[in-house]
Amino acid sequence: MEEGQRLLNQYQSNKNSLIGIGNLFSSNVETIIAIQAKGLPITAKNVESIRNLLASNSKKEEKIALLRLLGILYTYDNKSNTNHLIVQDLRHHIKSNDKDICLAALLTFSRLGYFSDSVEVLKHAYDKKILGENGYLGEIAHLLPFAPTTDQHKLLAILSTGNNSYANEVLISSFTQTSRIKKLDPSIKKALRLHFEKNQPNFPLAIGEYSVIDSFRYSNWLQSSTMLKIDMTGKTYQELIFKHLNNPDLDPRKIIAFLSTTEGKYLIDHLQNAKQKEDLKALNERAQLYSKQSPQNTIMRDLVQQITFNMESSVR
């Protein structure tokens, strides 16, 4: 942070000395990006400095970088006692006639947390085509964990109506850990669980086709769905995972996808009884059979080999 502070002081000095005669804005942008990477002390003085720079005759690229830099000085404990000024400036620049500046301010504002006007601001940007559908619904999904319960239901209703796969991925990724789930009201836990059940990711219809991206989506979905069920049912992680994976109609690629993840290895290493050992053996056999039917897919072959190795290592 000392280096970040030094760079900010240098940048301000350069700006002051070059006012009226132009500047090498590309190097200034690089300096701002470097400041953000190194960090800054959270002080009212630094907030004031960046706000003043935003209000000066900076080039567009500089303003965009400065808006992002301003965002990192917003803290949940309001350490600098200037959160209201940061939000005020971001809202001001969201109204900019320049689309790029508006978008930078909007995304910085959205990532600070949930505000009473967050949905209104995002919807306005969507209507003005500042954000596309993925961007709009993706930000709604990102905000949901931080909103009060009543508003969480409203946000989930927007996502359900939008039925956007990208937004569903963002939402699912937000609830892979129990710490965030435990903070939720039971009513929204139930609503999320139903929403997840309706939006289970699937693999392509073509037999033997296996994408790492599809695998990641499905594994995240199963992890989040299971975490919600643990909190609501009291059943163990292992019980719920095995119940899902043991479905005879389940696409074997989903078995491969989950068992090849870190969470899958955890399941393998923490079997609770003999029945689960037999269930795991049967799941691995299904995965091996499916992989052998598509010998050209080396990704599946390698993943199944790794799953088998993890099982054998766990038994030793």
Name the packing angle between helices 99-110 and 118-127 (round to 10°): 150
pLDDT given for residue 315 in this prediction: 67
Going residue by residue through the chain (316 aa), what tens digit of pLDDT does each one get? 899 999 999 888 877 654 433 444 467 888 899 999 999 999 999 999 999 999 988 889 999 999 999 999 999 999 999 999 999 999 999 999 999 999 999 999 999 999 999 999 999 999 999 999 999 999 999 999 999 999 999 999 999 999 899 999 999 999 988 888 999 999 999 999 999 999 999 998 888 889 899 999 999 999 999 999 998 888 999 999 999 999 999 999 999 999 999 999 999 999 989 999 999 999 999 999 999 998 899 999 999 999 999 999 886 5
Separation CA 56–CA 270 (nearest Å): 59
Query: Under DSSP, is residue 27 helix (H, G, I), strand (E, B) or coil?
Result: helix
Read off the amino acid at residue 256: I
CB count, 10 Å around CB of 55?
A: 12
**Cβ contacts of residue 4 below 8 Å, gap of 6+?**
34, 35, 36, 38, 39, 40, 41
Residue 203 in contact with residue 254, Cβ under 8 Å? yes
Residue holding tokens 């029945």? 275
Distance between CA 301 and CA 298 in Å, rounded? Answer: 5
